Amino acid sequence: MHSTTCNGPFCRDTDAMKWFHETMDSNTLPPEVEPDCGKWCSAVTFLHEDVPFIPFSFDGLKMPISLVYEATDEVWRRVQCASVTDSCTSTRACCACSDPTLCPFTNFETTNSGYCDDPCKEDDSTCKQLAAGCGVSVFDASQNWGSQQCSQESIKTGECELCKIPMWCDNPAFDVNDADDWMRLFHDKDGGRAAGSRQCKWRNTQKHQFVETMRARYSKRKYDGFDHVNLWNEVNFYVGPGDASLKHVLWRNLIGLMFVRTYGDVDDLRNIRKLRTHFRSLGAEIPMFVVDAEGLGETIDWWYPNEKVNLRAAPYNLEPLN
């Protein structure tokens, strides 16, 4: 579920409407994939009946319009990595420190230090993984990751070895193989300003471990309270040269457009209808749905670990949108 567009006071300071306007101005299908988590990175929320239905949004930046894709094998093979919680876009993968409030250094550049600025070659999987946010963040590299640490200078000059490798959970430095291992090493260990930056990443071949870890983490959050990270999960694609077919893969597996009532207003509803009308004018009839989601607070209210999420039932009330 890729969330796009926005409303709220933080919306005017972002590029969250850029994809919508460019898509409305384009006369070709499929639409481009929106890079919203880095120059070559596009993030989605993974939906599953065993975890809470919490799309990306927070108070001040609500994103009520989503493109929903079926997580087929064809789509999942394009996933570069999966994060149990949002892993802090603003300090992603040593690429830059674009948000000064979430940067561990003063006077640190906001553009790329050379780790994932250039487009990736088609067969360079490590390049794609780093560009899609599967590496260590600037925030965490400056603190301590495992037994390693990088200085401001080494990160800035492109010499930080931590910044050159994906932070896989099964890396020998962490040896995280299941939900218990992840919870022991990372749960509630991320109380810093860059919420979510301290965590290992699951490979696209480890979907089961990813889901089970989310279940463990959400259960702990529901019953024991705030754990210093965001509620939604994050799954990342590489977008750009070296993977031009991604937009075709996603378009083939598009289920429809989704409007989240919880986050949307009248203007958002108007925009999603404009988007469907535009696709129709180009010859594509795209289904459209409306749904309610968990709120924007710190608690998990609707989900229970022993129950499957059924979006068609209350309190989600998924239905077609005309």
Do strands 254-260 and 288-291 pair parallel, antiparallel, or not at all (unpaired)?
A: parallel
pLDDT, tens digit only, all 322 positions of the chain: 999 999 999 898 788 899 999 999 999 999 999 998 888 999 999 999 999 999 999 989 999 999 999 999 999 999 999 999 988 766 666 766 777 777 788 777 776 667 777 889 999 999 999 989 898 888 778 876 656 788 888 888 888 888 888 999 999 888 999 999 999 999 988 756 777 778 899 999 999 999 999 999 999 999 998 888 889 999 999 998 878 899 999 999 999 999 999 999 999 999 999 999 999 999 999 999 999 999 888 899 999 999 999 999 999 999 999 8
Q: What is the pLDDT of residue 138?
A: 81
Task: Specify the pLDDT at position 111.
Answer: 67
DSSP 107-127: S--SS--SSS-SPPPTT-HHH
- Cβ atoms < 10 Å from Cβ of 166: 21
The pTM is what? Answer: 0.94
Alpha helices in 121-265, H assignment, sequence order: 125-131, 138-141, 152-156, 179-186, 207-224, 246-252
pLDDT, position 102:
74
Q: What pLDDT does residue 145 have?
A: 60
Whole-angstrom distance, CA of residue 264 vs CA of residue 61: 11
Count of residues for the chain?
322
Task: Name the residue among 110, 96, 104 with its Cα closest to residue 142.
Answer: 104
Q: How far is CA 23 from CA 12, 37, 130, 131, in A?
A: 19, 18, 27, 23
Residue 248 token pair = 């075709």
Domain definitions of the chain by residue range:
2-90+168-320
Chain centroid to CA 256: 19
3-class DSSP state of 56: coil
